[in-house]
Structure 1
Amino acid sequence: MDSFHYVDLFATKGIEYILILGFLAVLVWYWRYLNKPVVSGAKAVREKIKTTMVDWFVLANDFYYHPGHTWAVPEQEGVLRVGVDDFAQKLVGKPSAIELPTVGEHLVQGDVGWKMKVDSKTIDVLSPANGEVIAVNERVLQSPNLINEDPYKNGWLLKIKTPQMKANLKNLLNGNMARAWMEYTTHQISRTLSNDTVPVLQDGGKIVPGFAKEIEPQNWDKLARHFLLTDD
């Protein structure tokens, strides 16, 4: 009868077990990495916002601008965050209310996207992009002056889901083109002021908030619609 031989399995297979355990540890780490909460695109964009001063108005770098003075910025694949630019908020001043579309509504680039109520006037504002509204900034509905205090960050208005991201952005202004457009807009304002004695500049050269009312007290809404491209 053959004699029994004790084999220390761990001693002979220890290295293999260690390698397997190591592989499992890496696998678990990788799984957790893939499934960890993703930092929202909105937060990432907000943290990186840099701005450029163009005469009297601020532009957020890397944002895309519609000539009707609205902006769009990619948040994540297929999603844009949108709002009004610094020119628009300085043009009309503090709104008493903002009428936003509801979640699920579809917007068309260049068509009316939302409305701002200022005093007794209602001003239409054009949407910078096509797509479905997937989020509304409730804080702006409660505190419309957020668009004046922080138009590119806390004053955002909507998030739009669009299957045509590249096409939407291609139709907007960015970088040097956006700066040139804002310079042209400022030139138009300067020409308007050249025939008007109303002071619209504060001490330090800053333009008066709601300067459309200073230029055209009775028909300021007509001037606002002209620059926001809704005067048809």
Structure 2
Amino acid sequence: MTLSRTDTQALKILPFSKRPCLHHLEGRIPFKPCTNDYLCDRCEFDQYFCDEYSVHAVLGPVKVLNVEGVQFPHGYYLHAGHTWVRIEEGSMVRIGIDDFALRLLGPVDRIEAPLLGKAVKQGEPHMVIRRGEYRAGVLSPLSGVVTAMNAKLREQGRAANEDPYAEGWVMTLHPQNLRKEIKALMIAQEAESFLAQEVDHLHQLIEEISVPLAADGGTLGTDVFGAMPQLGWERLTRTFLRA
């Protein structure tokens, strides 16, 4: 993701400790808070980094955290209900479901989101995942008014499984209280630690039913529920989606 250096209005309303350096949002460095009010042309670190980066760096995709195959991008915020937030231009945020939840529940048939203009509240199940006869509510990571929804997911839910952090986005919001509510979200190492705990918890549940973990080369598989339905759909969604 690349943000314009002149369009930082949404970022400036965040608490100082949650304001990511633009180089972090662009996937170039680990999380680093901005300490210069996004005045990049007056930032000594920005000047130093740009000088070094222009010589040594090779541009590539945005970096991601990887926890036993579960991916989560740098610069994104994570909610405990396994939804993500990406801050965009014009004081807007984009929201989706994370890789862990989609691996947990497997290929989904459809994902439903509120219609445009609908008000949603942080921590309430405003999104729905459907797989066959199964249904799971998904918590909204922020409060606000829906400004767009990914209609493709209503017919092709697997697009989220295939690309959860880009083409698989669910909705965009005009947030109502971003500065306060973002304190409940995780970023960088905090998000990585949380995902590691969730993977460990899943391992424990699997051990209870004495079934080997479905994995691809030592990583978490792409359809945990499909491989181990004994875990129970309701149990998995209640435990991890927290809805």
* TM-score above 0.5: yes
Q: CA deviation at 1:133?
A: 0.1
**Corresponding residue to 2:108 among 95, 98, 103:** 95
What corresponds to 2:161 in structure 1? 148
Letter paired with 2:167? N
CA RMSD of aligned residues (A): 2.3
What corresponds to 1:206 in structure 2? 219
- Provide runs of 4+ in structure 1 moved above 4 Å: 44-48
Question: Helix, strand or coil for the counterpart of 1:72?
Answer: strand
**Corresponding residue to 2:63 among 50, 62, 65:** 50
Q: Alpha carbons of 1:200 and 1:218: their partners in 2 closer, same or farther (altered >3 Å)?
A: closer
2: CA distance, partners of 1:64 / 1:139: 23
Name structure 2 gaps, 5 residues minimum: 1-6, 11-24, 28-59
What corresponds to 2:73 in structure 1? 60
Q: Alpha carbons of 1:162 and 1:171: their partners in 2 closer, same or farther (altered >3 Å)?
A: same
Question: Helix, strand or coil for the counterpart of 2:220?
Answer: coil
Higher Cα radius of gyration: 1
2: CA distance, partners of 1:163 / 1:65: 18
TM-score (norm 1): 0.74
1:224 aligned to 2:224?
A: no
The share of aligned pairs that are identical, in percent, is 27
Aligned length: 189
**Corresponding residue to 1:160 among 149, 173, 177:** 173
**Corresponding residue to 1:109 among 113, 119, 122:** 122
Question: Helix, strand or coil for the counterpart of 1:155?
Answer: coil
Question: Contact 1:74–1:80 at 8 Å: present in 2 too?
Answer: yes
Q: Alpha carbons of 1:111 and 1:120: their partners in 2 closer, same or farther (altered >3 Å)?
A: same
Q: CA deviation at 1:218?
A: 7.2
2: CA distance, partners of 1:108 / 1:137: 19
Letter paired with 2:118? E
Question: Helix, strand or coil for the counterpart of 1:217?
Answer: helix
Q: CA deviation at 1:217?
A: 3.3
Deviations 1:62-104 (A, max 9, x none): 1111100001110124211000000010011111122211000
1: CA distance, partners of 2:171 / 2:222: 23
1:133 aligned to 2:149?
A: no
What corresponds to 2:30 in structure 1? none
Letter paired with 2:209? D
Question: Contact 1:79–1:160 at 8 Å: present in 2 too?
Answer: yes
Q: Alpha carbons of 1:194 and 1:219: their partners in 2 closer, same or farther (altered >3 Å)?
A: closer
Question: Contact 1:71–1:128 at 8 Å: present in 2 too?
Answer: yes
Question: Contact 1:198–1:214 at 8 Å: present in 2 too?
Answer: no
TM-score (norm 2): 0.71
2: CA distance, partners of 1:139 / 1:49: 24
Letter paired with 1:193? I
Deviations 1:182-231 (A, max 9, x none): 1111111121222333233334123232213433437323222221001x
Question: Contact 2:106–2:224 at 8 Å: present in 1 too?
Answer: yes
2: CA distance, partners of 1:79 / 1:48: 23
